[in-house]
Amino acid sequence: MLDVVVNGGWGVREEGPQQLAERWVNFLKALEDVDTAAFGGWREATDDDSTAPFISLSASTVVEYVTRMNPEPDVGRIGYTTSLWSGKPGMPEVVVHMSAGGTSPYVTDSCAVTMRSGELDESVLLVRRSANILGALAESWDIDWGQGYNDDEYDAVEEEFDLEIPDPRCGRVGYLSANRAALVPDGLPGTYTRTAHGGLIIDLTRDGEETPDIETVLETNRVLRAAGALERLPIPFDRAKW
């Protein structure tokens, strides 16, 4: 059984279908660079996945899809919500979900990659590349914070710190935008990678070679919270990142 999520969030950043589509295309192409065997052959999210049409990775095609899936008159305020999925034989089913672009200072923007399988487990190469997936997400969407986790890791962190959905946290991998990263103390476990936006990826899996236990994930969150690196953006949002 496999159920692993890599996601990221940020505050308010007004963007229309064209800008969001360009981010979508860049992100999906970056995912294919991470694992061409698992990512690709993207389909629209429909009620019947077996007949869902494939979508080409061109900005114009994705603009049309994003616009078509968000007919609400107040979409400019609440933001655009769209999903795509891919399911190749012998690979986990992957769903990529985006909710972003609105002007509301009370709505968290986010992007998530969910990897699920009833037959495969977390030893698959795709899951071991969670840090690479998070890096692609951070670069493409310019997020404020991000993480990769399974259900047990997510629940443990949520319960330990009494968190709500938009609260920053760290899983088996984590991402902090530049101002958050500046607060990270030395001595945390794992490996570290800087991104083009000045952010920091914390990889407790050491490039997929290790599986951190729950206590390691919790202790990492304790240290980061004590340093102020996981503070929630003030609501109402007045910016995208800390």
pLDDT, tens digit, 9 for 90 and up, residues 3-31: 999 999 999 999 999 999 999 999 999 99
- Asked whether residue 117 carries a pLDDT value surpassing 80, the answer given is yes
Confidence of residue 235 (pLDDT cuts 50, 70, 90): very high
β-strand pairing of 173-176 with 145-150: antiparallel
Q: What is the pLDDT of residue 47?
A: 74
pLDDT at residue 240 tops 90: yes
* Average confidence score pLDDT of the chain: 95
- On the question of pLDDT at 122 being above 90, the answer is yes
Walk across the sheet containing 200-203 and list its strands: 43-44, 80-86, 93-100, 109-117, 2-10, 145-150, 173-176, 200-203, 191-194
Task: Let me know the angle formed at the C-alpha of 44 by 29 and 36, rounded to the nearest 5 degrees.
Answer: 30
Q: Phi/psi at 225 (nearest 5 deg)?
A: -70, -40
The three-state secondary structure class of 232 is coil
Contacts of 37 (CB under 8 A, 6+ apart): 88, 91, 125
Residue 180 is predicted with a pLDDT of 98
Residue 201 β-bridge partners: 175, 193
Gap between the Cα atoms of 87 and 210, Å rounded: 26
Mean pLDDT of 157-162: 97
